[in-house]
Amino acid sequence: MTDLDVFQKETRAWLEENCPAEMRTPIRGDEDMCWGGRNYKFSSPAQKQWLETMAAKGWTVPTWPKEYGGGGLSKVEAKVLAKEMHKIGARSPLSSFGIWMLGPALLKFGNEAQKLEHLPPIARGEIRWCQGYSEPGAGSDLAALATKCEDKGDHFLVNGQKVWTSYADQADWIFCLVRTDFNAKKHEGISFVLFDMETKGVEARPIKLISGKSPFCETFFEDVKVSKDNLVGELNKGWTIAKYLLTHEREMIGGQGEGVARPLHEIAAGLLGLEDGKLPEPMLRAKIAEAEIDAWVFGQTIHRKLEEAKAGASLGADSSMLKYYGTELNKRRYELMMDASGHEGLEWESERSNGGKTARDWLRTKGNSIEGGTSEVQLNIISKHILQLPGA
Amino acid sequence: MALVLNEDEKMLQESAEGFFADKAPVKALRALRDNQDETGFDRTLWKDMADMGFAGVMIDEDHGGVDMGCMAAGLIAVEMGKNLTASPFISSAVLSATAISKAGNESQKALYLPKIAAGETLIAFAIDEGRKHAPSKIELTAERAGNGFKLNGSKAMVIDGHVADQLIVAAKTGEGKTTLFLVDPKASGLETERTIMVDSRNAARFEFDNVEVNADAVLGEIDEAESVIEAVLNVGRAVISAEMYGASAQAFKITTDYIRERKQFGTEIGRFQALQHRSSHLYTELELAKSAVLASLSALDTGDLKASDYVKMTKAKVGQVAKLAGVEGVQMHGGVGMTDEYDIGLYLKRIRVTQELFGDTHFHMEALAKAAGY
Per-residue pLDDT tens over the stretch B148-172: 999 999 999 999 999 999 999 999 9
Alpha carbon distance A196, A201 (integer Å) = 11
Give the CATH number for residue B19.
Answer: 1.10.540.10
What's the rounded mean pLDDT across residues A158-168?
A: 95
Indicate the pLDDT class of residue A30, thresholds 50, 70 and 90. Answer: confident
Asked if residue A250 has pLDDT above 80, the reply is: no
Asked if residue B287 has pLDDT above 50, the reply is: yes
Residue of A269, A311, A386 lying closest to B283 (CB–CB): A386
B219, B251, B280 — which closes off a domain? Answer: B219
Query: A377: nearest CA in chain B?
Result: B277
Tell me the residues of chain A between 265 and 284 that have a Cβ less than 8 Å away from chain B. Answer: 265, 268-269, 274, 277-279
Same domain, B189 and B230: no
What's the rounded mean pLDDT across residues A83-99?
A: 92
pLDDT at site A36: 96
**Could you tell me if B94 and B87 are in contact, meaning their C-beta atoms sit under 8 angstroms apart?**
no
Is some CB atom of chain A closer than 8 A to the CB atom of B373? yes
Task: Say if B116 falls within a structural domain.
Answer: yes
Tell which CATH architecture fits domain A258-386: Up-down Bundle (1.20)
Asked if residue A307 has pLDDT above 90, the reply is: no
Cα A116 versus chain centre, distance: 23
Tell which CATH architecture fits domain A3-94: Orthogonal Bundle (1.10)
Asked if residue A257 has pLDDT above 50, the reply is: no
- Closest CA relative to residue A84, chosen from A30, A9, A23: A9
Asked if residue A256 has pLDDT above 70, the reply is: no
Asked if residue A150 has pLDDT above 70, the reply is: yes
Name chain A contacts of B1, Cβ cutoff 8 Å: 300, 303
What's the mean per-residue pLDDT of chain A? 92
Indicate the pLDDT class of residue B274, thresholds 50, 70 and 90. Answer: very high
Task: Say if B2 falls within a structural domain.
Answer: no
Task: Say if B1 falls within a structural domain.
Answer: no
Cα A99 versus chain centre, distance: 9
pLDDT at site B37: 94
State what percent of residues in chain B have pLDDT above 90: 99
What's the mean per-residue pLDDT of chain B? 97
Interface test with A, best of B254, B256, B263, B280 (most A CBs within 10 A): B280
Burial call B173-209: b when 16+ CB within 10 Å, e when fewer: beeeebbbbbbebeeeebebeeeebebbbbbbbbebe
Contact A389 B279 (CB under 8 A): yes
Is the fold of A3-94 the same as that of A258-386? no
Same domain, B292 and B204: no
Contact A390 B374 (CB under 8 A): no
Same domain, B134 and B101: no
Task: Say if B310 falls within a structural domain.
Answer: yes
Is some CB atom of chain A closer than 8 A to the CB atom of B268? yes
Is some CB atom of chain A closer than 8 A to the CB atom of B280? yes
Name chain A contacts of B292, Cβ cutoff 8 Å: 296-297, 300
pLDDT at site A260: 56
Tell me the residues of chain B between 3 and 32 that have a Cβ less than 8 Å away from chain A. Answer: 3-4
| A196 Cβ contact partners less than 8 Å away, ≥ 6 residues apart | A172, A173
Which stretches does DSSP call E strand in chain A?
Answer: 129-132, 148-151, 155-166, 173-179, 190-196, 202-207, 216-227, 231-232
Q: How close A326 comes to chain B (CA, Å)?
A: 11
Q: How close B296 comes to chain A (CA, Å)?
A: 10
Contact A297 B270 (CB under 8 A): no
Same domain, B214 and B114: no
If phi > 0 it is left, if psi is from -120 to 50 it is alpha, else beta; for residue A36 that is left
B121, B149, B177 — which closes off a domain? Answer: B121
Give the count of Cβ contacts less than 8 A between chain A and B: 127
pLDDT at site A261: 72
| B130 Cβ contact partners less than 8 Å away, ≥ 6 residues apart | B137, B156
**Could you tell me if A75 and A63 are in contact, meaning their C-beta atoms sit under 8 angstroms apart?**
yes
**Could you tell me if A200 and A248 are in contact, meaning their C-beta atoms sit under 8 angstroms apart?**
no
Helix or strand run (H / E) with residue A243: helix A238-254
For residue A155, the 8-state DSSP code is: E
Same domain, B49 and B90: yes
Higher pLDDT among residues A213 and A111, named by residue: A111
Determine the residue type at A148. Answer: K
Residue of A265, A382, A387 lying closest to B372 (CB–CB): A265
Among A245-254, B315-324, B365-374, the minimum mean pLDDT is found in A245-254
Tell me the residues of chain B between 49 and 88 that have a Cβ less than 8 Å away from chain A. Answer: none
Indicate the pLDDT class of residue B88, thresholds 50, 70 and 90. Answer: very high
What's the rounded mean pLDDT across residues A262-282?
A: 95
Is some CB atom of chain A closer than 8 A to the CB atom of B284? yes
Among A87-91, A190-194, B100-104, B286-290, the minimum mean pLDDT is found in A87-91
Exposed, middle or buried: residue A292 (CB in 10 Å: 0-12, 13-18, 19+)?
buried
Contact B287 A318 (CB under 8 A): yes
Interface test with B, best of A297, A318, A319, A388 (most B CBs within 10 A): A297
Q: Which domain holds residue B68?
A: 7-121
Interface test with A, best of B254, B258, B284 (most A CBs within 10 A): B284
Q: How close B47 comes to chain A (CA, Å)?
A: 35
- Closest CA relative to residue A39, chosen from A178, A268, A197: A197
B193, B219, B245 — which closes off a domain? Answer: B219
Asked if ipTM goes beyond 0.90, one says yes
Is some CB atom of chain A closer than 8 A to the CB atom of B276? yes
Degrees, nearest 5: CA angle A310-A313-A318: 105
**Could you tell me if B149 and B181 are in contact, meaning their C-beta atoms sit under 8 angstroms apart?**
yes
Tens-digit pLDDT profile for residues B97-106 = 999 999 999 9
**H runs (alpha helix) in B220-272:** 226-261
pLDDT at site A258: 42
pLDDT at site A259: 43
Same domain, B106 and B129: no
Indicate the pLDDT class of residue A253, thresholds 50, 70 and 90. Answer: low
Give the CATH number for residue B160.
Answer: 2.40.110.10
Give the count of domains, chain B. 3
Alpha carbon distance B57, B45 (integer Å) = 16
Same domain, B298 and B334: yes
Question: Residue A146 CB: number of other CB atoms within 10 A?
Answer: 15
Is some CB atom of chain B closer than 8 A to the CB atom of A6? no
What's the rounded mean pLDDT across residues B213-238?
A: 97
Among A17-31, B199-213, B301-315, the minimum mean pLDDT is found in A17-31
Q: Where are the domains of chain A?
A: 3-94, 129-238, 258-386
Residue of B294, B316, B370 lying closest to A293 (CB–CB): B316
Alpha carbon distance A63, A68 (integer Å) = 10
Helix-helix angle A318-341:A282-310, to 10 degrees: 160
Same domain, B283 and B149: no
Asked if residue A5 has pLDDT above 90, the reply is: yes
Is some CB atom of chain B closer than 8 A to the CB atom of A315? no
For residue A58, the 8-state DSSP code is: T
For residue A31, the 8-state DSSP code is: G
Is some CB atom of chain A closer than 8 A to the CB atom of B321? no
Q: What is the 3-state secondary structure (H, E, C) of B117-174?
A: HCCCCCEEEECCCCCCCCCCCCCCEEEEECCEEEEEEEEEEEECHHHCCEEEEEEEEE
Contact A379 B368 (CB under 8 A): no
Query: B320: nearest CA in chain A?
Result: A290
Name chain B contacts of A318, Cβ cutoff 8 Å: 287
pLDDT at site A252: 64
Residue of A300, A318, A383 lying closest to B3 (CB–CB): A300
Same domain, B260 and B366: yes
pLDDT at site A315: 79
Tens-digit pLDDT profile for residues B19-35 = 999 999 999 999 999 99
A129-238 belongs to CATH 1.10.3720.10: no
Question: Residue A314 CB: number of other CB atoms within 10 A?
Answer: 10
Asked if residue B219 has pLDDT above 90, the reply is: yes
What's the rounded mean pLDDT across residues A27-53?
A: 91
Same domain, B201 and B168: yes
Is some CB atom of chain A closer than 8 A to the CB atom of B281? yes
Name chain A contacts of B324, Cβ cutoff 8 Å: none
Same domain, B168 and B52: no
Same domain, B137 and B192: yes
Cα A189 to Cα A108, A110, A175, A184, distances in angstroms: 20, 19, 17, 5
pLDDT at site A254: 53
Name chain B contacts of A382, Cβ cutoff 8 Å: 280, 283-284
Q: Up-side HSE of residue B41: CA atoms within 13 Å toward CB? A: 30
Tens-digit pLDDT profile for residues B113-140 = 999 999 999 999 999 999 999 999 999 9
Name chain A contacts of B332, Cβ cutoff 8 Å: none
